[in-house]
Amino acid sequence: MVHYKRVGITVKSGLEDKCQTVDAIVSIVQGAGAQVFMDPKRAGGIDCATDLPEYKSEDEIDLLLVIGGDGTILRAVRELSDCTTPILSVNRGRVGFLAETEFDEAQDLIPKFIHGEGVLDERQLLNVKAMRGSNEIISGFTLNEAVIAQGTIARLVDLETRVNDEPLTTFHADGLIIATPTGSTAYNLSSGGPIVHPSLDAMILTPISPHSFSQKPVVIRSDAKVEIVVKTKQKKYKDTEVILTLDGQVYVALEGEDVITITQDARCVKFLRRKQDTFFGTLRNKLKWGERVD
């Protein structure tokens, strides 16, 4: 019995051997009895997609199959409207930490998923809003992290931070990462932040190269409200440049006294997995967790 009858396919734009890869995946999906719909923004130049229908919104498909790496998955999540459609990812990137299958597993695993053998892994999102006085300069959501950091000028920034309206500290650092448990293994990890299991309802605040040794990462409840006020100091020639980035893909320049508010988003992303918890296996396989370096 076909559980996911309408499968949408999106692919990394710069993927090598894109036509051959998509052609192989399309054949697997169709062979499993499902109908294929292509992402209209990425179907150009793919010969096998010429005669395939396209989906215009996620309510036209039952499953979104993403071919690419973590960046492609983050982009696909950003383009979903309400995040109700499950995502199945085939890794064609470098690490593919968020991906569930490798390309050489697709022939065996994709039909099983389409026939309903997988389980749904729900991941939390963060809602991010930045205000300049009474004007909203950006509003969006992030699966991995929001980053407030210096721009092209190599100067420390001051970020006054409150949690649930209570003062936490003013971070004097290269920047601040506000991450989900999903994003704990991304920029957060490389900046010295903790690995947090994605099943936990948590939010991670990790300063980037803080000037004070006492300013360490802190893990708080996911339903907390975090407010950050940019406190730039007037320099002799130019103000320090500060940038807000969402999942490394959306960014906006900030100014002094801009207020960034981060809360838990009401939506969550649904990933289709082969079993309930693959997190520790992913740590071992993708990050070489615990292996000795000779």
How would DSSP label each residue in 102-171? EGGGHHHHHHHHHTT--EEEEEEEEEEEEEETTEEEEEEEESSEEEEEE-SS---EEEEEEETTEEEEEE
Residue 293, classified by CB atoms within 10 Å of its CB into exposed (0-12), middle (13-18) or buried (19+), is exposed
Residues 265, 78, 35, 118: is their CA dihedral positive or negative? Answer: negative
If you compute the radius of gyration of the chain from its CA atoms, what whole number of angstroms results? Answer: 21
- Classify domain 6-117 at the CATH topology level: Rossmann fold (3.40.50)
Contact 17, 41 (CB under 8 A): no
Q: How many CB atoms lie within 10 A of CB 233?
A: 11
Cite the DSSP H helix spans in the chain: 18-31, 70-79, 106-114, 187-190, 279-286
6-117 shares its CATH topology with 125-266 = no
C-alpha to C-alpha distance for 142 and 146, rounded to whole angstroms:
7
For residue 13, the model assigns a pLDDT of 85
Beta bridge partners of 279: none
| Predicted structure pTM score | 0.91
Which tokens belong to 196?
A: 């947090």
Q: Which CATH number fits domain 125-266: 2.60.200.30, 3.30.70.260, 2.60.40.10, 3.40.710.10?
A: 2.60.200.30
pLDDT tens sequence for the chain (294 residues): 889 999 999 999 888 888 899 999 999 999 999 999 999 988 877 877 788 999 999 999 999 999 999 999 999 999 988 889 999 999 987 767 888 899 999 999 999 999 999 999 999 999 999 999 999 999 999 999 999 998 776 788 999 999 999 999 999 999 999 999 999 999 999 999 999 999 999 999 999 999 888 899 999 999 999 999 999 765 554 556 899 999 999 999 999 999 999 999 999 999 999 876 678 877 887 777 666 655
| Catalytically active residues, by annotation | 70
For residue 238, the model assigns a pLDDT of 57
Beta bridge partners of 102: 91
C-alpha to C-alpha distance for 230 and 8, rounded to whole angstroms:
41
Delimit the domains of the chain by residue range: 6-117, 125-266
3-state secondary structure of 9: strand
Sheet of 202-208, strands arranged across:
218-221, 202-208, 175-179, 145-150, 242-246, 250-254
Q: What amino acid occupies position 30?
A: Q
Q: What are the distances in angstroms from CA 6 to CA 2, 15, 85, 209, 282?
A: 10, 24, 11, 47, 28
Which tokens belong to 197?
A: 């299991």
Cβ neighbours for 190, distance < 8 A, ≥ 6 positions apart: none
